[in-house]
Structure 1
Amino acid sequence: MSGFDSNPFAEPESDNPFNDPSVTQATSSTIEPTDQYNFPEQPAGLATHTTPATPSPYQPAVLQPSTEPSPKAAAAAAQANLLRQQEELERKAAELDRREQELKGRGPGGKQNNWPPLPSFFPVKPCFYQDFSEEIPVEYQRVCKMMYYLWMFNCVTLFLNLLACLAFFTTDSSYGVDFGLSILWLILFAPCSFLCWYRPIYKAFRTDSSFSFFFFFFVFFCQVMIFIIQAVGIPKWGNSGWIAAFTMIATNKPVGAIMIVVAILFTICAVLSIVLLKMVHSMYRRTGASFQKAQQEFSQGVITNKSFQSAASSAAQGAFQGNN
């Protein structure tokens, strides 16, 4: 009846692996302490090697709180961006203006003006471009340079004439008109001679322009007459020429000597101008220039002139409106 007394719902003892006698003996045996075993001791000089614990390569993820910019911060950033763009545009506009001014200050062919040779800090910039070796043909360079030296010599003579007339005025106050006119001649003739006869002959040699040759001949002939009048030295005309010098040397020899030197310089100017006029005329005859070419160049220059075109169009419009 023992079979009836057992629990029918319990697992059979044969099916339970832990009821195995070998397992039961192993689990019931006590583990002896490690003190019963004698481990060999390490030498005194050797250091114990410990393997460090390897840190885990995986770190916990930290989520940063996402904060959206406020409307004020966004508006400030947009305004700063606009200001930066505006500064960039202003800088580019200034650079364009500077380049435009440089282009306006360039001579023919897009070259930088170099005359008069003024320092960079001077408020007035050079107005002309001049280079004999580059722009003037070799056969004309010598004569063109001589014309340039004649103009410089004339300017120096006019300045010395002013000093001589000043000395003349200090000796005799009745000759104050000569001193005043000498200042006028220096201010008037120095730039006008450069523009009216030197630049035309420079352009004539550079471009072989018949009109420039004719303009030079007309103006330079008048300049030769002025040199002769200045060398003569008519009193009250502002020139310390021969007549004024001989008049003064009788009363004041030092002042008279200064005026004679200036009269000699005026005479040299007159002689050189006549010689150079003949040289230029001979070169002009070899270039094949003529009065017909000069007329043609003048008419083409007038037709292509923008001022003339605007004036002609205005006149045509006025005539058309008047007829209507």
Structure 2
Amino acid sequence: MSDFDNNPFADPNPFNDPSVTQVTTSNIEPVEQYNPFPRSNEGLATHTTPATTTPYQPAVLQPSTEPSPQASAAAAQATLLKQQEDLERKAAELDRRERELQSRAPTEKENNWPPLPKFFPIKPCFYQDFSEEIPEQYRRVCKMMYYLWMFNCMTLFLNLLACLAYFTTGDHGVDFGLSILWLVLFSPCSFLCWYRPVYKAFRTDSSFNFFFFFFVFFVQIAIFIIQSVGIPSWGNSGWISAMSVIGSNKAVGIIMIIVAILFTMCAATSIILLKMVHGMYRRTGASFQKAQQELSHGVMSSRTFQSAATGAASAAAQGAFQGNN
């Protein structure tokens, strides 16, 4: 039992060994504080030597990025299907809008000119609406042409009264009879031959209607000048006829002078309006070639021409067939 009572750390103490005490009391730095790069070599860290590059680079295998034919075909098919869907959607939208416009717009415009009473047996023959059918830049000139036509009709009526008064002064029955003819003839003809063509020309920008208007309106200006001159026995109360009667009957002469002034105003206003319409015509881009195209298209689309052409073709075919037999 005495061995267990002995102190294992009694002398000799293993920590008092000279080799151990030499290590613990040495001035050598521990491993954690050891610097393999001494301070004297710190300047070497700032000097770097560039690496040498060889003229030949190692070959690197690049992966292929081109899609396979199957993938390309699938992508193209998907693109076509998408475009087709977009086109179908746009077509459906256009059809829907067209149906809406057709449902809103009236199927047929009711004629409103001449403005006759509803109980009148004759119904209006034309539809006329400046604010709806005529563009704003042409509306003023088109209305002026309409007012010129009405002024012409009024002048022709006053010419009839003046010729009637002229007829009472002597043997001038021919002038009175022709004045009635000019009123009945020129009033509707001027409306159909030069006012309606210029109205349709402004409404649809039609080169054919412009050319037709210019041709007829030149004739109308010549007629205005002849009426204002007043050649005797021509049915016009112009300057010559008025001056021939003013010496014998001043009242009739004054009436005829007033009508001669109105005819002169018609001629002057017509020349001014012709220049205005011609200036607008040049700005619309109309041309003689375009007028020819419109005329040929109108003739070819006419049902009368189509039926006549069909009949002529069938007759020629039958004649050729019978000739061969």
Cα distance in 2, alignment partners of residues 271 and 155 from structure 1: 16
Tell me the CA shift for residue 317 of structure 1. Answer: 1.5
- Structure 2 counterpart of 1:136: 134
- Structure 2 counterpart of 1:304: 301
Name the amino acid aligned to 1:141: R
Task: Find runs of 4+ consecutive structure 1 residues off by over 3 angstroms.
Answer: none
Write out aligned runs for 1:198-237 (5 A): 198-237=195-234
C-alpha change, 1:144 and 1:168, in structure 2 (3 Å) is same
Cα shift readout 1:88-130 (whole Å, capped 9, x = no counterpart): xxxxxxxxxxxxxxxxxxxx97111110000000000011111
- Structure 2 counterpart of 1:191: 188
Cα distance in 1, alignment partners of residues 166 and 124 from structure 2: 36
Cα distance in 2, alignment partners of residues 321 and 181 from structure 1: 53
What value does the CA root-mean-square deviation take over the aligned residues?
Answer: 1.0
Where 2:172 maps in the other structure, the secondary structure is: helix
Tell me the CA shift for residue 136 of structure 1. Answer: 0.3
Q: How many residues align?
A: 216
Cα distance in 2, alignment partners of residues 298 and 260 from structure 1: 44
Cα distance in 2, alignment partners of residues 317 and 168 from structure 1: 62
Cα shift readout 1:236-255 (whole Å, capped 9, x = no counterpart): 00000000000010111100
Cα distance in 1, alignment partners of residues 133 and 269 from structure 2: 24
- Structure 2 counterpart of 1:92: none
Cα distance in 1, alignment partners of residues 183 and 208 from structure 2: 28
- Structure 2 counterpart of 1:256: 253
Tell me the CA shift for residue 321 of structure 1. Answer: 1.9
Cα shift readout 1:41-86 (whole Å, capped 9, x = no counterpart): xxxxxxxxxxxxxxxxxxxxxxxxxxxxxxxxxxxxxxxxxxxxxx
Where 1:162 maps in the other structure, the secondary structure is: helix
- Structure 1 segments unaligned to the other structure (5+ residues): 1-107
- Structure 1 counterpart of 2:151: 153
- Structure 2 counterpart of 1:285: 282
- Structure 1 counterpart of 2:168: 170
Write out aligned runs for 1:307-322 (5 A): 307-322=304-319
Cα shift readout 1:192-223 (whole Å, capped 9, x = no counterpart): 00000000000000000000000000000100
Return 314-323 or 236-245, whichever deviates more.
314-323
Q: TM-score, normalised by structure 1?
A: 0.66
Write out aligned runs for 1:1-20 (5 A): none
Cα distance in 2, alignment partners of residues 241 and 272 from structure 1: 17
- Structure 2 segments unaligned to the other structure (5+ residues): 1-105
Where 1:122 maps in the other structure, the secondary structure is: coil
Cα distance in 1, alignment partners of residues 289 and 200 from structure 2: 18
- Structure 2 counterpart of 1:118: 116
Name the amino acid aligned to 1:229: I
Name the amino acid aligned to 2:214: F
Cα shift readout 1:160-186 (whole Å, capped 9, x = no counterpart): 0000000000111x2100000000000
Instruction: Say whether 1:238 aligns with 2:247.
Output: no
Name the amino acid aligned to 1:171: T
Cα distance in 2, alignment partners of residues 318 and 230 from structure 1: 51
Where 2:312 maps in the other structure, the secondary structure is: helix
